[in-house]
Structure 1
């Protein structure tokens, strides 16, 4: 609803349960009834966007998405990185970014799933809308926050590298006397 993508384009057919068309009709049956479908969220004022998202969370979201949205807003307000790797967390990210567009600066999608069982088209649409690309690609069928955990590990390692890694001079690395580095390094004296 927030991205404006047609439900039929991002829902995946599976062998069990209702068809894509039936699921899309079901979503339309409650979203349209509450007049939540907004063609252009950017045309709304900040308070109208906030009201529309809160209404959407009330009608179509669960408590998990509502709590995650609040958590994401709080984390971003404290300038904390928010890593996500699945559709549920992505829905909360979309809600938070719609409420406060500055949240987007703190959002990092860690993983991409290649299996339709993980609602991969929905996750791709969330990332497309946010203008971000996941940086981990793996074929695991388990998504129990594994992507976010690995993503946090990469961010943590990057921060250690930026903040704690010594320079060549601090580490007393000698100038190359042979090999590819010979003649390309300046004398450290």
Structure 2
């Protein structure tokens, strides 16, 4: 599936599929019969019911889960907004493919297949302080690259990213989507000091001023101040919604991909779970805007879907308890009168 035009993208965002109400009711009824006090597994019960609705079955499962890490390069790095040079993106993609990164180990630990999707790494996006980061065709291609990473038959997908400079794009996306001061959305990213963060804030402010008269549509926001890997995540999330596949979001940058979409249609987050809240200062603020409560708070800030992959272990526990516990009748345990 590809987004062949802006209209295709906008139509997909405007016509969102909904979870299976019958499966939700069946899962809720099962929870009421399991050998435990009602509500005693708290968030684990909610996760199981959430997955039942999106998978359309009383006992959801993860037979085939996938991590998709999208990579792109950013022209805005010419302004010194990252503590690392842009060529680290290419080097880290090589590390992913060689099996040497954190996400390789964490995906394996969560029994998830891992795919790496580099997008035109030899062609950084334009410096978005003076021009749109992407042309319309480039943004559509990135959205389509994300959509193509999501296929029927997946039970869950975790979305993550790699791209030096992309926390700058994420802060710009969040500010343009939800307003507020740039400083409230901007953090150290790869490890900037105070002076670096101030420089990053000034760069984002210039970018937003430059694009201030542009239409405030999801597509225009993504293409003007986003990046290829971020647009790809948006495409993956939207395609997953079409297929009814639950999405686990990683950190601030992955979450920022859905910000322009959610600003236009808040319901777009209904099939998403926030895997964790990262140490990046704007992430909790963004999750609040998206209406998502993170599963974990481990002060992680690596990206590359690492926090999302760790969260899948919690999700597997929730689904295991839901599917494998005995009911009161099966265990011959007296339930509530």
Fold similarity call, TM over 0.5: yes
Moved more, 79-88 or 151-160: 151-160
Query: What pairs with 1:129-140 in structure 2 (closer than 5 Å)?
Result: 129-140=289-300
Alignment partner of 1:156 out of 312, 316, 320: 316
Alignment partner of 1:106 out of 261, 268, 271: 271
Instruction: Using the TM superposition, give the Cα deviation of residue 16 of structure 1 relative to its aligned residue in structure 2, in angstroms.
Output: 7.0
Alignment partner of 1:147 out of 307, 312, 321: 307
Query: What pairs with 1:30-69 in structure 2 (closer than 5 Å)?
Result: 30-35=207-212, 52-69=217-234
Change in 2 beyond 3 A, CA 1:34/1:143: closer
Instruction: Using the TM superposition, give the Cα deviation of residue 131 of structure 1 relative to its aligned residue in structure 2, in angstroms.
Output: 2.2
Alignment partner of 1:3 out of 172, 178, 193: 178
How many residue pairs were aligned? 158
Q: RMSD of the TM alignment (CA)?
A: 2.7
Q: Structure 1 length as normaliser, TM-score? A: 0.70
Partner-residue secondary structure (3-state), 2:273: strand
Moved more, 55-64 or 132-141: 132-141
Instruction: Using the TM superposition, give the Cα deviation of residue 134 of structure 1 relative to its aligned residue in structure 2, in angstroms.
Output: 1.1
* Other-structure match for 2:249: 84
Q: Select the structure of larger CA radius of gyration.
A: 1
Considering Cα pairs closer than 8 Å and 6+ residues apart, tell me whether 1 or 2 has the greater RCO: 2
Instruction: Using the TM superposition, give the Cα deviation of residue 122 of structure 1 relative to its aligned residue in structure 2, in angstroms.
Output: 1.5
* Other-structure match for 1:122: 282
Whether the aligned pair in 1 keeps the contact of 2:178 and 2:263 (CA below 8 Å) is no
1:32-90 per-residue CA deviation (whole Å, 9 max, x = no partner) reads 222268xxxxxxxxxx75xx221121111111011110110111222222111211111
Q: Structure 2 length as normaliser, TM-score? A: 0.42
* Partner Cα separation in structure 2 for residue 160 and residue 57 of structure 1: 38
* Other-structure match for 1:29: 206
Which structure 2 residue ranges, 5 or more long, are not aligned?
Answer: 1-175
